[in-house]
Structure 1
Amino acid sequence: MIHKEVAQIISISKNMVVLTGAGCSVESGVPDFRSPSGWWNQIDPRTVATVKALETNYPLFHSFYTTRVNHLRKILPHAGHAILARWEQVGHIKLITTQNVDGLHQAAGSSHVQELHGSIKEFRCHSCRKATDEEAFVNERPCQCGGKLRPSIVLFGENLPNDAWQRSMAAIESADVVMVIGTSLQVHPVNQLPFITKGKLILINAEETGQEDRFDFFLRGKAAETLLLIQHYMEK
């Protein structure tokens, strides 16, 4: 069984990197982006998740991200997040690099996390970049410099954080296993990251991405239930 074979590979890994996308958080209750019930089927990202929206239509920008911030207050990590944290603690995982901004990996106990798209748990002024807090953003207070407050996430058209990108690339290049969880592999340049490794490639996703043939193993399923099954075979 494929889950058993993957479990055997992970059990001897000392240098695994895990790349996660929105599908990794769905079982915690976080909407993804591209499914029929995802965020981008409710609102066009080109109208809200952009620097232009922040600068020219701040009420829309603020309303959308305040909704996301408030929604995440009641969200907790699922069993799959906990398994990844455990694998880090016992020495299998070297790094988690994530497209997610929800902070669930850290909340589950993972220490070595690089956030490629920033964090919706952190806030700053768009003009002077001074750090602020969630309360100030939600209550729509301006910065002392007069600038607009925003989550510290990467908006469309902005560059990825260089440090997180470089650390992720270096870790993947030297990894013995790269596991990709819950991403459609559509977003450039992150979708190129898995394929710079010489290690084993594992994909866990609820749907086919069209790139399954580039992986050594494809496990179709939800993140938590698939990781629980792998963990089950690792404990046998």
Structure 2
Amino acid sequence: MNYQNRLQQLTELIKKAGKTIALTGAGISTESGIPDFRSKNTGLWNQYDPQEVASIQALKKNPESFYALNFQWWDVCLKAKPNNAHFALARLEKMGWLLGVITQNIDGLHQHAGSKRVWEVHGNLKGCSCLSCKKQFDMGQLHKQLRCPFCGGLLRPDVVLFGDAMPEDFFMAEKVMSGCQLLLVIGSSLQVYPVASLPQLSSKTVIINKEPTTWDKHSDVVFHEPASQVLCDLVDSLNNLQGPFYTGGDKTIHKI
């Protein structure tokens, strides 16, 4: 099926769905210059073993090495700007077609683009906390020193590391998925559990990812085109119509 036919099919699916949610992964942020994890040639996990560099055990074993490596790409995340895919999702929410975004990303770009309902199931880069006394700080504290200024305990970022328990946002996302009629999976390889199990909670699924996923064969429509192209075209094809969650306000998509 050609692109225009698939786009029309997606448009009809979202018009008929009473509850549409987006699930985003690292692939939506690659157009903002942030590398993803599992692409064949550029994925971070092709260069590093995540258990060796991005786990709670790695942090405790060698904090200096852990932070020296991870700050390289965290700084890229913190300096990045939203791309048109992020802006398009924010507009779909304002137009009332999208309830909100469940994201595996820690870059905060959905909020920067204007999305209001975002569940960050892998945490974010806003802050850090002490493993010993549990005091919380903004992320700038980690740039100053790796240990708590109050008790000397090791500081950790507010992101989900390998070996961590899932945060409250994940369990909220599971509840939000109840009754989901259409899930837009955008830029996720759906290889990391338990987040990869969320599509099972939706009646219908659309995949928008540059590379094939294990869910392609189970999905109603599949796009391997860039997320910004598909989502901007979707906004245009809805022609400023109001969706079931529309509450008023500007519906124009801003291009960058």
Q: Which of 80, 87, 90 is equivalent to 2:92?
A: 87
| Cα shift at 1:151 | 1.4
Shift of 1:80: 0.9
1:64 aligns with 2:69: yes
Query: Taking structure 1 as reference, are residues 19 and 74 closer, same or farther at Cα in structure 2, changes over 3 Å only?
Result: same
Q: Structure 1 residue 141: deviation in Å?
A: 4.3
How many residues align? The count is 234
1:182 counterpart residue number: 187
Matched, 1:21 2:25: yes
Select which of 42, 47, 64 maps to 1:42. 47
Structure-1 residue corresponding to 2:154: 148
Aligned-pair identity in percent equals 37
Unaligned 5+ segments in structure 2 are 241-256
For the 8 Å contact 1:95–1:171, the answer to whether it is kept is no
The residue type paired with residue 234 of structure 2 is I
- For the 8 Å contact 2:24–2:101, the answer to whether it is kept is yes
User: Corresponding residue for 2:104?
Assistant: 99
Matched, 1:196 2:204: no
Gaps spanning 5+ residues in structure 1: where?
A: none
Change beyond 3 A, Cα 1:223–1:128: farther
CA offsets, 1:93-130, max 9 Å, x none? 11211111111111111111111111122222222222
Q: Following the alignment from structure 1 to structure 2, what is the Cα–Cα distance between the partners of residues 7 and 53? A: 45
Q: Deviations over 1:145-200 (max 9, x none)?
A: 11112210111111111x212221122221121111111111111111111122x2
Answer yes or no: is 1:224 the counterpart of 2:228: yes
After superposing the two structures, state which structure 1 stretch, 11-20 or 142-151, moved more. Answer: 11-20
- Residue of structure 2 aligned with 1:75, choices 65, 76, 80: 80
Q: Which runs of 4+ in 1 moved over 6 A?
A: none
TM-score computed with the length of structure 1 as normaliser: 0.93
Q: Who is 2:117 aligned against?
A: 112
* Residue range with higher mean Cα deviation, 67-76 or 111-120: 67-76
